[in-house]
Amino acid sequence: MTQRITQFIKSITARITKEDYELMNKYLGDQKRLKELFLLLPVFEQRHCIDVAQTIQKQFSEQLNEEQKHTIMQAALLHDLGKLNMGLNPVTKSVAVIFDKINRQSAMRLTGKMKFMNGYYNHPEIGAEILKQCNVQEEIIYLVRHHHQDQGSNYNNLLNILMEADELN
């Protein structure tokens, strides 16, 4: 609960600095469409994606080679792209979290009726489909598609890292 409240406050006060955009440009700058899509996200979602990328840089980059680092940094910046235009904002997201906590099965039935509930539950799949239309490595599409996968499955190392960094932010 405390973590959720902190997340809510963080999202309504989110800001992006010049250094943040430099990081985004470093990893998405040479792919115009990806950069455009990232910038279409609301600021609080951009903030979250940059936070996840920065956590990976700080805590996990030592275990990764350059190619893996580039892959996971792109995936981190794009992992919540499926939330684009789904009516998710700090308030509707909080509603979705509460519905999910009360009764996940019933809440999941709302995906056909409420766009933001669809975004909340299905944004990994939606994001992966958006990225399929872009010139993106299969590995990135895989990471985006599975970033909320239930615990207990066989994750690859990059997916583990992305999920852990997402959880920390």
**CB of residue 65 to Fe ion, shortest distance in Å:** 25
| Residues 136, 38 contacting (CB under 8 angstroms) | no
What dihedral angle (degrees, nearest 10) is formed by the CA atoms of 101, 88, 91, 8? 80
Q: Which is nearer to Fe ion, 51 or 80 (CB)?
A: 80
In a 3-state reduction of DSSP, which class is residue 21?
helix
Residue 148: CB minimum distance to Fe ion, A:
6
**At closest approach, how far in Å is the CB of 70 from Fe ion?**
21
Listed residue (56, 78, 84, 80) closest to 140, CA to CA: 78
Short-list 10, 8, 12, 40, CA closest to 24 = 40
Judged by CB under 5 A, does residue 45 bind Fe ion? no
Stretch that binds Fe ion, among 5-13, 19-27, 54-62, 73-81 (CB under 5 A): 73-81
Reference 37, options 1, 78, 65, 75; nearest CA is 78
Contact stretch for Fe ion (CB under 5 A) within 47-55, 72-80, 90-98, 152-160: 72-80
| Cβ distance to Fe ion smaller for residue 70 or 148 | 148
Pick between residue 32 and residue 101 the one whose CB is nearest to Fe ion: 101
CB of 80 to Fe ion, least distance (A): 5
Contacts with Fe ion in 80-119 (CB under 5 A)? 80
- Of all residues in the shown chain, the one whose CB is closest to Fe ion is 80
**Which residues lie below 8 Å from residue 168, measured CB to CB, with a gap of 6+?**
52, 55
Give the footprint of Fe ion on this chain (CB under 5 A): 80
